[in-house]
């Protein structure tokens, strides 16, 4: 299981939202590059970067920072505002190893096949779940699909790894929802989980149901878990 510490970006700053609400934005007054360096120095091999300003505006706004962070040598998973093929290419050129795509996939039924053909395993569908349905475009628009239906559809198309975020828990530091992921894994080790992951026990519970990766953001910044604890939990320790 892979651990991915999260850096959420807005106007060049490290921030966190609560349930994606921009009116509940907290600025941690940290340098994104120095924060990424600290994760690397602590033993992280992967990092999850969300351009929240990009998600709000509809185009990536932090490709310069992405390039600097990618130059550190970690595997960078990047998303936020990637709503065109050009946006995706820009993010990959800036150093993203994998890009998270939501809106593009759910606005046009033909687009998932095209995206997979163009970008292959670097394209990671972002399945954001709110109230049992998949949402997109900064969680503002709701589809008629359940996350299980979306995963079945996208697996059949050929995607191999998925980000599944429980938006109802995002930024709440209230614990993960392993039962959601138990239902969705279906024996596939292809889901990276996000939303509410707060403690080592949360990570252990997700590992037990077959999740491939765990993303932790707010809890790292507010003392709920340390990098050492998270890495131990993902590698099989306590």
Secondary structure (H, E, C), 195-236: CCCCCHHHHHHHHHCCCCEEEECHHHHCCCCCHHHHHHHHHC
Are the C-beta atoms of residues 137 and 103 closer than 8 Å to each other? yes
Residues β-bridged to residue 204: none
For this structure, is 21 an active site residue?
no
Annotated catalytic residue 128: yes
CB under 8 Å to 18, separation ≥6 — which residues?
24, 170, 171, 172
d(CA 136, CA 104): 9
Active-site residue (options: 8, 51, 170, 202): 8
Q: For residues 211 and 1, is the Cβ–Cβ distance under 8 A? A: yes
- List the catalytic residue out of 64, 90, 128, 177: 128
Tokens of 113: 């096949």
Pairing state between β 141-142 and 98-101 = unpaired
List, by residue number, the catalytic residues: 8, 128
């Amino acid at each position: 299981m892979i651990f991915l510490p999260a850096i959420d970006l807005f106007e060049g700053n490290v921030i966190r939202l609560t349930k994606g609400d921009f009116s509940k934005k907290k600025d941690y007054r940290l340098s994104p590059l120095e924060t990424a360096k600290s994760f690397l120095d602590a033993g992280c091999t992967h990092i999850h970067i969300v351009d929240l300003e990009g998600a709000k505006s509809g185009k990536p706004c932090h490709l310069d920072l992405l390039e600097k962070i990618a130059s550190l040598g970690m595997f960078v998973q990047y998303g936020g505002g990637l709503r065109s093929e050009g946006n995706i290419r820009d993010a990959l050129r800036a150093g993203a190893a994998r890009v998270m795509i939501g809106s593009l996939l759910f606005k046009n039924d033909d687009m998932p096949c095209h995206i997979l053909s163009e970008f292959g395993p670097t394209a990671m569908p972002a399945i954001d779940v709110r109230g049992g349905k998949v949402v997109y475009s900064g969680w503002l628009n709701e589809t008629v699909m359940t996350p299980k239906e979306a995963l079945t559809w996208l697996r059949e198309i050929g995607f191999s790894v998925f980000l599944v975020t429980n938006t109802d828990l995002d930024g709440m530091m209230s614990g993960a929802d392993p039962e959601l992921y138990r239902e969705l894994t279906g024996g596939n080790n292809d889901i990276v989980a996000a939303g509410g992951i707060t403690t080592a026990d949360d990570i252990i519970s997700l590992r037990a149901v077959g999740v491939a990766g765990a993303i932790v953001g707010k809890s790292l910044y507010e003392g709920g878990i340390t990098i050492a604890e998270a890495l131990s939990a993902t590698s099989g320790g306590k």
